[in-house]
Amino acid sequence: MQLSRRDVLKLGVLGSAALVLPMERVARTKLAQAGRLSPSQLPRPFVRDFVVPPIAQPAKRTIKDGRAVDFYDFVQQARPVQILDAPFPQTTIWGYQGITPGPTIRVPQGTEVVVCQTNALPAVHPVLRYQSTTSTHLHGSASLPQFDGYASDVTATGQSKYYLYPDFQEARTLWYHDHGVHHTAENAYMGLAAQYHLKDAVESAKLPQGEFDVPLILRDAIFGTDGQLIFDSSSESSLMGDVILVNGVPWPKMKVKRRTYRFRLLNASISRSYRVALSNNQPMAVVGTDGGLTQAPQLVRDLRVGMAERYELVIDFSKLGPGQQVILKNLGLPNNVNFPSTANLMMFEVIGDTPDTTNNTLPATLFDHPVMLLKESDAVTRRRLEFVRQNGHWTVNGQTWDDVINSGFTKVVANPALNSVEVWDLVNKSGGLFHPVHIHLVDVQILSRNGRPAFAYERGPKDVAYVGENETVRVIARFGPQVGRYMIHCHNLVHEDHDMMVQFEVGAGGFDPRLAAAAQSTAGLPDVDVFDGFPSDVPGRV
Amino acid sequence: MSTLAVRPSRVDHLARRGSTPMAFAAALSLSAAIAHLDGVVVHGRVWWAYGAFFLATGVLQVALAGLLWWRPRAWMALIAIPGNVAIVAMYVYTRTNGPPLGPHVGRPESPELLGMTTCAAELAVAVILLRLLGERTGRAMLWGMLLLGLAGWALRLRGTLL
């Protein structure tokens, strides 16, 4: 056939669709990133008041099989919030209950918690245009596999999923955050993160409580002049923001009284690590790490905090005079993009005395966590996991989460027997990158770094090990108490998504982390009013 | 008689071995094949089926290039035009909504220069091959391509293509 000019125009419709549609998607994202706030437009530091995320109230409390059960009904929602200074518009965040950080769940040891997580987010991310499926991981909990926020066990918009948390572990600062496959970084960056405090008699008797027990959720972000968050992961490498948010507020100022405070510091950043210190060079006492209390307070003047790491710090303001100000600084670490604005985190301003002196003096000893009593000689197996970028993919021993998916979720890098003790070497041969490695389910003790002892502040139970540049970190753990498949991954969430994540299996025959208690439509769930603890037909209730 | 309504004079002209338009189409198909074969290992590492898709596409495009060079015939156009257009449609879908199957389902890839160029080459092959067809069949193909293009834009405006 002969092609006329009109025919060519017709073909042009197909040609334009083929070539323009893919480019338009990229251009839209780039345009959104182009309007980044200039340094002079960033929020002014130490102006906004410090805020504490609200404590979540259970929708229902019951006793089931002789155990207390708290039921929470959470909705993941998009909401506009004013983060930037006027005249910049509000920022749309994604939050548990529509706030970021989400509400803190505070629960005594031994109380089971059931959280119904309903995804009410927009079906598609407004800028990045991905389908906003979520999975909620309670980081630090020995949850059963199907309640661990398995990456590929996702909940779509309009669906809900029950999560059961056993809470039998020692007191600790946990946090719940998104873990949806391939979009954890974006979802968490939008705000799906919050703390979860497991309390027990030991920490209640020894450490500051109430208003003197303060969560500090640290993260960085990039904002556009339209007020919206900009997600720029530098070609799937790292996301480095120039605005520091503490509990969702840019560089806040906290008024403190002249006494000791306990700060539950969590690095909820996507890719940024911090070296935290006080501007007056005052020492801080590290009293807790990821998995709970340390054996004894460790006095440090600065400490390195990788993504997902938690440190409980006690800071003594009693020797400072009213009106005195101290800045919580970030001294910076290699392989972060350090902006002038990221050198400061928040400010403390002393306002006066308080009559409350409860737990105002630190005891010499705190708690002997079981994992801290393990010795290297207890290990029955040694393993080595290498974290490396290969052919554009972030890998663990050359494997990625794609390999796990392709195997029908059966492929594992390790299969420790239930309750066996193993030593793992976490290896980073790169001099240009660091990888905070998170091993799900278990608490670990860091035995050594390149053969040298762990840092003083790391001498407590951990579930994230900062594997620095050219480092081999040796950890020991007892693998249990649950049976089943659990994830191991880099907590640079960009690396995790692309695809530095694999899994191990404790014992054999655990619940399928993906299929049991899968997400279901909201309509299929029992009504909260008639809810009695936990659905009996869901396997895995402890 | 042929149901393809191919004009004898045009077939005579185009069907000669190495005629300029067909040689050009063959070269474009070969270049697209090389691009696909180059991607077999990288994509196969993610999922064997992705690799198999790239391999099959590359092999078929090599075969098409050879046939167009040696013995271009109308029936080839009847297969190759929808085939190339389908590959282009798949390219657009994977760059907007992500692959429809496999471990990267719903995870869009970035449009890169090589992919865009290959996409353009495949469209060009389809356009050149229209000339092998008779008026009626060619028009039907053309309308099909127009409708597919319109559907692409409509799906984008509707938000189905992300």
DSSP per-residue codes, A43-94: PPTT-SBP--PPBPPPSEEEEETTEEEEEEEEEEEEEEE--SPTTS--EEEE
Average pLDDT over residues A254-264: 98
Task: Examine the pLDDT at B5 and tell me if it is beyond 60.
Answer: no
Q: Quote the minimal CA–CA distance from B66 to chain A in Å.
A: 22
Name the β-bridge partners of A384.
Answer: A425
Query: Of A399, A189, A123, whose CA–CA distance to B103 is shortest?
Result: A399
Task: Convert the pLDDT of each residue in A340-358 to its tens digit.
Answer: 999 999 999 999 999 999 9
pLDDT for B21: 86
| Candidate from A17, A124, A402 with C-beta closest to B46 | A402
Q: Considering only CB atoms, which chain A residues are within 8 Å of B146? A: 10-11, 13-14
CB-based contact A124 B148, cutoff 8 Å: no
Q: Please give the helix or strand (H or E) that residue A311 lies within, else none.
A: strand A310-316
**Helix then strand then coil, % of chain B, to nearest 5:** 75, 0, 25
Task: Examine the pLDDT at A257 and tell me if it is beyond 90.
Answer: yes
- Interface check for B105 against chain A (CB to CB < 8 A): the answer is no
Q: Which of residues 114-143 of B touch A (CB under 8 A)?
A: 116, 119-120, 123, 127, 130-131, 133-135, 137-139, 142-143
pLDDT for A261: 98
Tokens of A454: 């762990």
Task: Convert the pLDDT of each residue in B125-155 to its tens digit.
Answer: 999 999 888 888 999 999 999 999 999 999 9
Average pLDDT over residues B68-88: 92
Task: Examine the pLDDT at A237 and tell me if it is beyond 90.
Answer: no
pLDDT for A542: 31
Tokens of A276: 């935290």
Task: Examine the pLDDT at B37 and tell me if it is beyond 90.
Answer: yes
Task: Convert the pLDDT of each residue in A321-335 to its tens digit.
Answer: 999 999 999 999 999
Task: Examine the pLDDT at A441 and tell me if it is beyond 50.
Answer: yes
| Candidate from B46, B146, B162 with C-beta closest to A10 | B146
Residues of A with CB under 8 A from a CB of B: 1-3, 7, 10-19, 21-26, 124, 129-131, 182, 391-393, 401-402, 405-406
Q: Quote the minimal CA–CA distance from B19 to chain A in Å.
A: 16
| Range from A153-162, A252-261, B7-16, B110-119 carrying the lowest mean pLDDT | B7-16
Average pLDDT over residues B86-112: 87
Task: Convert the pLDDT of each residue in A63-92 to its tens digit.
Answer: 887 889 999 999 999 999 999 998 999 999
Average pLDDT over residues B1-5: 44
Q: Say how far residue B21 (Cα) sits from the centre of its chain.
A: 16
pLDDT for B88: 95
Average pLDDT over residues A134-141: 97
Percent of chain A with pLDDT over 70: 94
pLDDT for A431: 80
Task: Examine the pLDDT at A236 and tell me if it is beyond 90.
Answer: no
Of all residues in chain A, the one with the smallest CA distance to B88 is A18
Task: Convert the pLDDT of each residue in A363-411 to its tens digit.
Answer: 999 999 999 999 999 999 999 999 998 877 899 999 999 999 999 999 9
In the block, which residue shows the tokens 């709970």? A292
pLDDT for B96: 87
CB-based contact A14 B139, cutoff 8 Å: no
d(CA B94, CA B90): 6
Query: Which whole-number Å values give the CA distances from B162 to A510, B92, B109, B118, in the listed order?
Result: 38, 10, 12, 22
Mean pLDDT estimate for chain A: 92
Average pLDDT over residues B18-47: 90
pLDDT for B14: 61
Alpha helices by DSSP H, A407-472: none
CB-based contact B149 A17, cutoff 8 Å: yes
Task: Convert the pLDDT of each residue in A167-196 to its tens digit.
Answer: 999 999 999 999 999 999 999 999 999 999
Q: In a mutagenesis test of the A interface, which of B41, B46, B117 is the best target, namely the one with the most A β-carbons within 10 Å?
A: B46
Full DSSP string of A159-193: EEEEEEE---SPSEEEEEEE--TTTHHHHHHHT-E
Which ipTM did the prediction report?
A: 0.82
Q: How confident is the model at residue B161 (pLDDT cuts 50, 70, 90)?
A: confident
Residues contacting residue A55 through CB under 8 Å, at least 6 positions apart: A103, A104, A105, A106
Task: Convert the pLDDT of each residue in A477-524 to its tens digit.
Answer: 999 999 999 999 999 999 999 999 999 999 998 888 886 555 555 444
Tokens of A107: 């629960």
pLDDT for A235: 76
| Range from A408-412, A519-523, A537-541, B26-30 carrying the lowest mean pLDDT | A537-541
A464, amino acid identity = V
Q: Quote the minimal CA–CA distance from A184 to chain B in Å.
A: 12
In the block, which residue shows the tokens 């060009």? B124
Tokens of B105: 């389902």
Query: Which whole-number Å values give the CA distances from A511 to A95, A365, A507, in the listed order?
Result: 29, 39, 11
Residue B39: burial class (beta carbons within 10 Å; 0-12, 13-18, 19+): buried
Q: Please give the helix or strand (H or E) that residue B162 lies within, else none.
A: none
Size of interface A-B (CB pairs under 8 A): 116
